[in-house]
Amino acid sequence: MTYTAPDYSPPTTVNYANWLQRVGAYLIDVIIASIPSWIGAGINTAMSTDGQASGAGLGIYVVLSLVSLGLTIYNRWIQAGKTGQSWGKKALKIRLVGEETGQPIGAGMAFVRDLAHIVDAIICYVGFLFPLWDAKRQTLADKIVKTVVVSA
pLDDT digits (tens, 9 = 90+) for 68-81: 999 999 999 999 99
- Asked if the structure places residue 30 within a domain, the reply is yes
Task: Give the residue from 69, 3, 6, 7 showing the smallest Cα distance to 37.
Answer: 69
Residue 149 — pLDDT band, cuts 50, 70, 90? very high
- Asked if the structure places residue 99 within a domain, the reply is yes
Angle formed at CA 135 by CA 73 and CA 102, multiple of 5 degrees: 50
Task: Give the residue from 115, 118, 94, 96 showing the smallest Cα distance to 105.
Answer: 96
Rounded to whole angstroms, how far apart are CA atoms 106 and 86?
12
- Asked if the structure places residue 13 within a domain, the reply is no
- pTM of the full structure: 0.86
- Asked if the structure places residue 95 within a domain, the reply is yes
Number of domains composing the chain: 1
- In this structure, of 21-30, 46-55, 74-83, the range with the lowest mean pLDDT score is 46-55
- Asked if the structure places residue 11 within a domain, the reply is no
Rounded to whole angstroms, how far apart are CA atoms 141 and 132?
14
pLDDT at 6: 62
Residue 46 has pLDDT above 60, yes or no: yes
Cα–Cα distance list, 104 to 15, 18, 140 (Å): 16, 19, 18
- Asked if the structure places residue 33 within a domain, the reply is yes
Rounded to whole angstroms, how far apart are CA atoms 34 and 136?
30
Residue 47 — pLDDT band, cuts 50, 70, 90? confident
- Asked if the structure places residue 42 within a domain, the reply is yes
- Asked if the structure places residue 5 within a domain, the reply is no
| Beta carbons within 10 angstroms of residue 98's beta carbon | 16
Domain that holds residue 91: 19-151
